[in-house]
Amino acid sequence: MILVISGPSGVGKSTIINNLNRDDGLYFSVSYTTRPIRKNEKHGVDYFFVDKEIFDRMVKESCFVEYEEYGGYMYGTSIDELSKVKDKKGIILDLEVNGAIKVLSKYSNSVGIFVDIDNTELLSRLKLRGHTDELFLKTRIDLASKQRDEKGIFEYYILNKEINDTVNEINDIIYNRILWLNHL
Ligand code: 5GP
């Protein structure tokens, strides 16, 4: 099972994913990005942080299942990471909407979850992350609205009001899907 978690950046996807129950053998797919590393992030854990030259070379060498530009930086899911789904019961991808749609339409064993948040809350979260630049904040709010236009493509829609509720809801989805897959 490929679990695709999408939604506006700043919605809390990473925190949600970090709190999911991994007892079912779920693996988090580590993406490649050209974005600079943030405080508290680790290379190889949160992302593989690479420069544009390496990223472009990987594109040329067809290393990615999908890749997208988001907020001025490149993000991509490598074939290597996705192939880990064979060893584990499932893999979790944290993707912006365009990449999510590509994966969802390519793999029949994928499940899409759109996690949302209202704009006021999103703005305060982005500010908490240390973003103060007005143009950056406006770009992220505009991007969030664009991403919401595609939410109908996802099988599940969750408004992230309370982190624990959201985590529980996604754990239930995973549990039920794995149960269902095991009965096929
Ligand atoms: P951030 O810079 O906040 O970590 O991530 C920005 C956005 O990029 C988030 O919405 C995240 O879901 C998305 N993202 C992270 N990795 C990938 C990837 O490999 N492919 C795509 N398409 N989006 C990604």
Q: Are 54 and 48 in contact (CB under 8 A)?
A: no
Residue 153 has pLDDT above 70, yes or no: yes
Write down the pLDDT at residue 2: 93
pLDDT band at 55 (very low <50, low <70, confident <90, very high): very high
Average pLDDT taken over every residue of the chain: 92
pLDDT tens digits, one per residue of 58-68: 999 999 999 99
pLDDT band at 32 (very low <50, low <70, confident <90, very high): very high
Which residues are CB-neighbours of 110 under 8 A, at least 6 positions away?
A: 1, 2, 3, 4, 103, 104
User: Residue written as tokens 């991808």?
Assistant: 93
Write down the pLDDT at residue 111: 95
What DSSP letter does each residue of 116-177 carry, written as one string?
E--HHHHHHHHHHTT---HHHHHHHHHHHHHHHTTGGGSSEEEE-SSHHHHHHHHHHHHHHH
Residue-level length of the chain: 184
Can you read off the two tokens belonging to residue 172? 């239930």
Q: Rg of the chain's alpha carbons, rounded to an integer?
A: 16
Q: Are 2 and 82 in contact (CB under 8 A)?
A: yes
pLDDT band at 183 (very low <50, low <70, confident <90, very high): low
Give the atom of ligand 1 at the shortest distance from the alpha carbon of 31: 19
Give the atom of ligand 1 at the shortest distance from the alpha carbon of 102: 22
Please name the residue whose Cα sits nearest to atom 12 of ligand 1: 95
Q: Are 122 and 142 in contact (CB under 8 A)?
A: no
- Ligand 1 neighbour 9 (Cβ under 6 A): yes
Q: Are 80 and 63 in contact (CB under 8 A)?
A: yes
Distance 11 CA to ligand 1 centre (A): 12
- Ligand 1 neighbour 110 (Cβ under 6 A): no
pLDDT tens digits, one per residue of 66-105: 999 998 999 999 999 999 877 667 899 999 999 999 999 9
For residue 113, how many other CB atoms are within 10 A of its CB?
23
Distance 121 CA to ligand 1 centre (A): 19
Distance 55 CA to ligand 1 centre (A): 14
Write down the pLDDT at residue 21: 87
pTM for this model (two decimals): 0.92
